[in-house]
Each structure stands twice: as structure tokens, then as C-alpha cells.
Amino acid sequence: MSESFASARPIIGLTTYLQQAQTGVWDVHASFLPGIYLEGVTLAGGIATLLPPQPVDADIASRVLDGLDGLIVTGGKDVDPAAYGHDPHPTTDEPARDRDAWEFALIAAALRRHLPVLGICRGAQVLNVALGGTLHQHLPDLLGHTRHQQGNAVFTTSKISTMAGSLLASLIGPNTNAQCYHHQAIDRLGDGLLVSALDDEGVIEAVEMPGRDFVLAVQWHPEETLDDLRLFAGLVEAARVYTTGRVSQ
């Protein structure tokens, strides 16, 4: 393997929204993602590419991942409760079933090939549901407040404590201040997942798959604080190791 290939920047795929959007005079159905996600990947040394929701099966998902070194499942609307056998709460978003199916397929294909995966906010919930877990659909019903999602696109800061010995703790240490914007959270854990962070009220704020190369999902938004790139850098480095090993086989 050449030195230039070994030092190449890993290609990271990021899932996107697919919904009505306005830009200038246009009001159209569009695939998009806030640019701050892309900035997080590129500042950490990766190359970002977008993965818009579209019709999918296992073969298509696998072919898409053939061109990637890592995967980020990004934030967005609530997961369809039907995917984990629950009726919708009145506050739950209208289902985005095409995006759900797309991300479930990408996660399944990524886990089969040990591709590094980072879930962000919705991405943590998608990972959990994809592995058979469930969600709390509205945290204010449990906690009696809306601190985790104040509304009007205003992020709130939560103190997050990591679990000793976890991958997450190795990346960010014992605690961090996290930017949160979620009214749902993980309830029953999906198969193979362990809790790797909680907030001060016991809400699950991160999960991971021990024994895997890099499968980590956080309930908060690390892209909102790009002065701290440790999660993006961790994924990019895992993607670099993954691709180096794949080529050397």
C-alpha cells in the first residue's frame, strides 16, 4: 500500500433530510443537511458525502457503503413509532418512513462490514430501534420539563457523564457539556448496545457497541460546538484504520 493512500482523507457518508424546503424563490421537496455537519467532518480530516433517502434494499445499501470509509446517521425528525411497535404520541412527528427505511438499511449493512458508525441525536434513536430497542416518545411526560428541547431552534446545555471504560469516555473523558435538542430518548436498549453516557437526570445520552471497531451514538449535537472535534476526529481516525485494513487484506 502506498504512503499516499495510507494518508488519504477518509470518505464519510452522512444521511440527510428529505422534506419541503425553501431557498430564494424556490419552495421544493429537497434533500439537505445543515452545513455544520460537513464542517465537522472536514475539520476532523475527512471528506463528507451526502446520502439522501431513496428507495433501498440490502444490496443497494451495501453498494453505497462500498464507496465509504465511515457513516454518520444525522439528526432530524422522530423515528416512526410503528418501527418499534408503539402507537404515536400526540407530539411525535409525522413519519418519514423513506428516511427511516434508508437509515435502517445503511446501519444493517454497516454493522455487517464493521464500518465505523457515529449516530447524532436522531441517529442514536435510529441505531437503537434498528437493533430492536424502543424510545420514550416525549420526555416532558417523564421529567416534567422541556429542558432537553426548549423549542424555536434554541439548544440547551446538559452535563453528560460518561461510563468508565467506554469508547466514549476514551474520546471525551468523564464528562462534557452537551448541546441538546431532543424531546425523545432511548428507553429499552437495542441488542448489543450498552449505555455509555447519562445526563444528571438519568436520561440516556449515548450508547455504543462494545467489541466493535467504532459504533457510537450520542443524543446530543456535537456539530454545534466545533471547537471540540473529538467525536468527529474519533470517527475519522476509525475510518482511516478501517480502510487501511481493508486495502491491506
Distance CA 41, CA 210 (A): 23
- Going by C-alpha positions, the residue among 141, 122, 152, 143 that lies closest to residue 218 is 122
> How is the chain split among helix, strand and coil, in percent rounded to 5?
35, 25, 40
Contacts of 42 (CB under 8 A, 6+ apart): 48
Question: What residues are annotated to the active site?
Answer: 121, 221, 223
- DSSP of 15-64: E-EEEEEEETTEEEEEEE--HHHHHHHHHTT-EEEEE------HHHHHHH
